[in-house]
Amino acid sequence: MDPQAQAEIPPTSARPRFSRRASIIGTLIALLALGGLGWLAWHLTHPAADTSSAAPGRRGAPATTVGVATAEKANIPLTLEALGTVTPQASVRVRPQVSGVMEKVLFKEGQMVRAGELLATIDARQFELALMQASGQRQRDEAQLDSARVTLQRYKTLLGQDSIARQEVDSQAALVKQLEGTVVIDKASEGTARLNLGYTRVLAPVSGRVGLRTVDVGNVVNSSDANGIALITQLTPIDVVFAVPQDQAGELQQLARNGASMPVSALDRTRSSALASGVFASLDNQIDVQTGTVKAKARFANTDLALFPNQFVNVRLLLKTMEDAVVVPVTALRHGSNGDYVYVLNGAERTVSLRLVQRGQAAVDKIVISKGLAAGERVITEGADRLKDGARVVLPGAPAGERPERGQRQGKARQQGASADAPAEGASRPRRRASQAEGT
């Protein structure tokens, strides 16, 4: 081998050092490249915040236009709403008590009847004959009883004269008692016959409206008929049964025990109009384990027949009325990690303060603040999502100088002026350097 070539080949001990240095340098370059890519990605996804989007509450940050409402005292009705079913107090299927031929039907379908009014008659001839037979048998047995009593009196007189044996007197006394029992049975038979005769006149057991007729004249009717003669449903007064959550059952029962008169309104399907007004009547004695509710009943006069049996209605029960309660709009109350709170406007400072409050009962558009707020204080109802404690706000209808748009325009003008002054200062430096060079 050429000696010069051998001199150009580096020694084997220097090769590992060179490769180690190269790997370290490559690793550093790769790490720098990865860091640069990460910075570039962060810079693209997190652009610099504009001064116009500064956090509220900082000095110089733009104010937020908000809606304001005043906390006031009002009488808030506490109501309970539920879905109810109209249930008649009485619904009676009129069936005949005796069997016979229907002779007359004296009612019309849908007619309003009163209790005790005659509805129909059944052929009564067989029952009149049965009554006559029972009456005749009673009279015959009473005559025998009178004769036995006279004979017994004679026997007692003869027994006093020692002219008759005591056995005959005792036998006659036993016969009198037997005949007395027979007369009692005869009277019962006569009463049964008279009662059956009265059953041939079918009377209305309750007052109400008669349904569709199910039997005609000439049909043979009996007490086992499933449809009976007519169905009478009592409409005035009428009840509405509804479900009450078990959490409110105790309060409702306590109010009822204290004798509180709780008015109830029956509303239509759309809750737009009231069908009838009534009062709370009673509460069931058991809670349904499947639904967690207890049944309640309200009573309505229903003089105008606005409620119909088995009709579904919306029930609104007035439990009580909270007097002089501090209320605010529902939109003013917010919920955070520390509980419910509102933003209170701080007078002429045009700033807001976050204040924790305790909420009470809620109405349709108002909510009661039971603790933490006084009547007359102003709270934020709109724009609260963009506020923090101490943030500046602008009220609707404020002067133009207080609007946030003006502050934003001034901030932008300042930024433009600063950017315009920067090149001028940079350009003056070379001139100073040039003058110094000429002087030298």
- Residue 365 or 289, more confident: 289
Cα–Cα dist 141/98, whole Å: 28
For residues 122-137, average pLDDT: 96
| Residue range 174-221, pLDDT digits in tens | 999 999 999 999 999 999 999 999 999 999 999 999 999 889 999 999
Upper half-sphere CA count for residue 47 (Cβ side, 13 Å): 3
For residues 110-120, average pLDDT: 94
Instruction: Give residue 240's identity as a one-letter amino acid code.
Output: V
For residues 335-360, average pLDDT: 87
- Check whether 359 has a pLDDT greater than 80: yes
| Residue range 240-277, pLDDT digits in tens | 999 999 988 888 888 888 888 899 999 998 888 999 99
CATH 2.40.30.170 fits 234-324, yes or no: yes
| Residue range 310-333, pLDDT digits in tens | 999 999 999 888 888 898 999 899
- Check whether 338 has a pLDDT greater than 90: no
- The winner for highest mean pLDDT among 97-101, 159-163, 330-334, 378-382 is 97-101
Residue positions counted in the chain? 440
**Per-residue confidence band for 47, with pLDDT thresholds at 50, 70 and 90:** very low
- Residue 106 or 3, more confident: 106
CATH number of the 97-232 domain? 2.40.50.100
Contact 59, 391 (CB under 8 A): no
Domain ranges of the chain: 64-71+333-400, 97-232, 234-324
Determine the pLDDT at residue 422: 40
Cα–Cα dist 74/280, whole Å: 25
- Residue 47 or 70, more confident: 70
Determine the pLDDT at residue 315: 95
The model carries a pTM of: 0.61
10 Å Cβ neighbour count for 252?
20
Architecture of domain 64-71+333-400: Beta Barrel (2.40)
